[in-house]
């Protein structure tokens, strides 16, 4: 069981609820915000002692029935319920914590994103590291880095690390805090699913130490499965644009995902993406030729 994470998640969700949220009488201002442990235990149909052990990480026998009871008592969403089950370690009782080999993108996935030339696409591993991208995806999210960077595991860009620690990436998002909050909520979900991954834990530790903003957001234990939506970007070469995004999850247990960006046909954003996808132009200026990327 990821004991400390499970206890933290339960405490955060308990603190976020009021008695009226779960149909209980509210008798005025409380010294500590949120529900009491006794109230959660009553709603979940378990003893206060047992629930307290769950919050303290002292009990490892949280069954599916217990998770379901807690999810009802704490009014969890389906995504949050799945995250709680991941944290409980129900399906990982005998799992060994090991440092895995660097991920490799499947050749078929690489060919797929390469064939999607008109759609900026990025292949992400389970730690949000970039495993591959097509030309448009590279120019859109990391034009200041080398196109071949994902091919060397030690140099791979990581979208979450870049969002907090890389200045060109931070300036790419005018609504940075919204983007950062979404990234932290997604990483929380991954950390529950892949709780035995030491490299993922190392990423969280690095960001917690180096970024007070990340540490603050992480402490709130947000959870969100960000599969689609909209992003506003302020690109250094093509300016401001509004794009939709979709995350396509590979149908295996690799945790690989393909992040794609699209624009409404005929929109200014679509025209900007088309400019981004053109090959660099060579401009001859007097005695020297200067390569200018769109």
CA 215, CA 209: separation in Å to the nearest integer?
7
Q: What is the DSSP letter of 226?
A: -
- The stretch 107-122 carries a mean pLDDT of 93
- The pLDDT assigned to 61 comes to 61
Q: Are strands 239-249 and 257-262 parallel, antiparallel or unpaired?
A: antiparallel
- The pLDDT assigned to 1 comes to 42
The winner for highest mean pLDDT among 196-200, 255-259, 285-289 is 255-259
pTM of the model: 0.73
CA 72, CA 64: separation in Å to the nearest integer?
12
Work out the widest C-alpha separation in the chain, in whole angstroms.
Answer: 83
What is the band of 28 on the pLDDT scale with cuts at 50, 70, 90? low
- The pLDDT assigned to 171 comes to 96
- The stretch 184-195 carries a mean pLDDT of 88
What is the band of 3 on the pLDDT scale with cuts at 50, 70, 90? low
- Of the listed ranges 25-29, 142-146, 215-219, 253-257, the least confidently predicted one is 25-29
CA 44, CA 228: separation in Å to the nearest integer?
33
- Tell me the per-residue pLDDT of 78-96, one tens digit each, with 9 for 90 and over: 888 888 888 887 655 444 4
- The pLDDT assigned to 194 comes to 84
- The pLDDT assigned to 103 comes to 85
Please, what are the domains in the chain?
3-88 (1.10.260.40), 107-282 (3.30.450.180)
- The pLDDT assigned to 289 comes to 43
Extended strands (E) in the chain: 121-124, 130-133, 228-235, 239-249, 257-262, 281-285, 288-292
Tell the residue number behind the tokens 């200041």, with chain if given.
Answer: 144
The first and second tokens of residue 139, run together, are 């120019």
Q: What is the DSSP letter of 250?
A: P
3 state SS of 11? helix
């Amino acid at each position: 069981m990821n004991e400390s994470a499970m206890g933290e998640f339960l405490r955060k969700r308990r603190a976020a609820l009021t008695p009226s949220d779960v149909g209980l009488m509210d008798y005025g201002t409380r010294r500590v915000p949120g529900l009491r442990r006794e109230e959660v235990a009553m709603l979940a149909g378990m003893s206060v002692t047992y629930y307290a052990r769950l919050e303290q990480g002292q009990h490892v026998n949280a069954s599916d029935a217990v998770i379901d009871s807690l999810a009802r008592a704490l009014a969890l969403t389906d995504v949050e319920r799945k995250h709680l089950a991941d944290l409980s370690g129900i399906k990982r009782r005998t799992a060994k914590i090991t440092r895995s080999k660097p991920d490799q993108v499947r050749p078929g996935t690489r060919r797929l994103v390469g064939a999607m030339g008109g759609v900026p696409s990025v292949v992400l591993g389970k730690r949000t590291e970039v495993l591959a991208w097509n030309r448009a995806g590279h120019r859109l999210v990391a034009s200041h880095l080398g196109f071949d960077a994902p091919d060397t595991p030690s140099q791979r860009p990581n979208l979450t690390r870049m969002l907090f620690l890389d200045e060109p990436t931070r300036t790419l998002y005018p609504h940075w805090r919204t983007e950062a909050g979404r990234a932290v909520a997604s990483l929380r979900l991954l950390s529950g699913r892949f709780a035995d991954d030491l490299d993922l834990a190392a990423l969280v530790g690095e960001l917690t130490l180096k970024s007070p903003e990340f540490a603050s957001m992480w402490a709130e234990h947000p959870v969100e499965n960000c599969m689609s939506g909209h992003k506003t970007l302020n690109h250094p070469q093509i300016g401001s644009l509004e794009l939709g995004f979709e995350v396509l999850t590979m149908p295996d247990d690799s945790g690989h995902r393909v992040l794609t960006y699209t624009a409404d046909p005929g929109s200014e954003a679509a025209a900007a993406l088309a400019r981004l996808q053109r090959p660099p132009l060579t401009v001859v200026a007097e005695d020297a030729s200067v390569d200018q990327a769109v």
